[in-house]
Amino acid sequence: MLQAPCPVLYSFRRCPYAMRARLALQISGQVCEMREVVLARKPEALLQASPKGTVPVLVETDGGVIEQSLEIMLWALGRHDPGQWLNVNGVSLETQMNWVARCDGDFKFHLDRTKYPNRFGLDCSTLSRTQGAVFLHELNQQLLEHPYLLGSHFSLADAALAPFVRQFAHTDPIWFASQAWPELQTWLSRFEDSLLFQAVMQRLEAWQPGQAPVYFPAASTL
């Protein structure tokens, strides 16, 4: 059956920014045409929509372009938020945004240097990992009283931070598992084992102009 015209999402499976956007689209049920991008061979259609050439990029049906992952999350959840990601235990959206800003600021800075020390002229990643671990310790403390960052259920903040915590943990899984962060480790495992995460991590072939559309979320995963 043909789908009605819907937004187009340019994505890359392993990118944590694209991952957080897909999480919000999945939970909201906002159907898009998914276009998986190979970053080494960015399609011209992506560059025309967004010259910066990074993912995710959402092109709305009216031609409007949303270029930032957090804005895509808010766009999707503003239309439908069945999981109450924007409203968790009376916590303000501003508080959620403050957590995201800290993740995307200092923590991402240390994450990049932990994962790719040579790109930044570093001999090793030990210092960057130690500095990034300060934020992870704080997250563990935040999780002492409830199973998710801000309360009893998964929120925008959880979805926005989890892909980056996951990437940091996977730089050295043995080291991460050895840290005294049981609540954080449980939180991350719960995320990685969830049907939501599995749904947004389906493998797709790279998009080619003229191919039959691939829709996301798939009907069977809503």
SS (H, E, C) 163-206: HHHHHHHHCCHHHHHHCCCHHHHHHHHHHHHCHHHHHHCCCCCC
pLDDT digits (tens, 9 = 90+) for 89-111: 889 999 999 999 999 999 999 99
Q: How many CB atoms lie within 10 A of CB 218?
A: 13
Kindly report the pTM of this predicted structure.
0.95
**How far is residue 177's CA from residue 174's CA, in Å, rounded to a whole number?**
5
> Domains of the chain, with CATH numbers?
8-83+198-221 (3.40.30.10), 93-197 (1.20.1050.10)
Predicted pLDDT of residue 220: 46
pLDDT digits (tens, 9 = 90+) for 167-214: 999 999 999 999 999 999 999 999 999 999 999 999 999 999 999 999
Please give the backbone phi and psi of residue 33, each rounded to the nearest 5 degrees, phi first.
Answer: -85, 115
